[in-house]
Structure 1
């Protein structure tokens, strides 16, 4: 599902596409997630709990003073170029 949301966007990804990707029946999906919003919310909760945001790690650095830690969260992420 994460890949569908990433490639198509949340609004453009249909519930039918999510059901197909998850290999579940529509009934099973709707029993557990009565709305698409409920499904998206759960995906976001799992994403947040499983993956740390690289910029947030900068706040934990002890080698920088507080102001520099905060500014470091705005540095470009390695491997991603700004256009």
Structure 2
């Protein structure tokens, strides 16, 4: 295998192992030796790819952000019907995500809560992720003919559903938030 492909494969393996472990157990509970063991990437190679645990955490969050937002957008884009249905599709996708084995809530909120106060770069990535989600939902709400200033209500419904689903261990908060969003779509004056 050529050196660049080997480097890329090692990077992917380390990122996947770290992301899985961080999400399941928390960032501070997982050491670099554990990531090395789970990924099969030698520690020296791991530190050549990621000079610090913080760099690895940032890379994991950046990769997760790209993947998470792409999956959400692909799901919403695949939904037929009027723009109103695209807003509601966000909550349908959340239900699907909440139903995945090992769902532990939002990795960005978890990371921010765990180390955001001591690692401003993690806090920045978490904020960027939330800003991008807010902008995405705002675009859907506006394209559904709703006032832009009503968009924060939909974002809060989604964010609240994420936290509640993680704490309750059931995907049902997505359905509850969807019903509330449908009521808002029917009467945006409520917001």
TM-score normalised per structure 2: 0.34
Rg: which structure is higher? 2
Distance in 2 (CA, whole Å) between partners of 1:25 and 1:78 is 32
Distance in 2 (CA, whole Å) between partners of 1:79 and 1:30 is 33
Does structure 2 conserve the Cα–Cα contact (< 8 Å) formed by 1:19 and 1:29? Answer: yes
Q: Which runs of 5+ in 1 are unaligned?
A: none
Name whichever of 39-48 and 19-28 sits farther off.
39-48
Structure 1 residues 21 and 78, CA gap change in structure 2 (3 angstroms): closer
1:20-31 paired onto structure 2 within 5 Å? 20-31=37-48
Structure 1 residues 71 and 11, CA gap change in structure 2 (3 angstroms): farther
SS in 1 for 2:96: coil
1:73 aligns with 2:90: yes
1:35 Cα deviation from its structure 2 partner: 1.3
Compare the two structures and name the one with the higher helix fraction.
2
Structure 1 residues 60 and 37, CA gap change in structure 2 (3 angstroms): same
Does structure 2 conserve the Cα–Cα contact (< 8 Å) formed by 1:59 and 1:69? Answer: yes
TM-score normalised per structure 1: 0.65
Per the alignment, residue 30 of structure 2 pairs with 13
Q: Which runs of 5+ in 2 are unaligned?
A: 1-16, 100-169, 173-191
Q: Which runs of 4+ in 1 moved over 6 A?
A: none
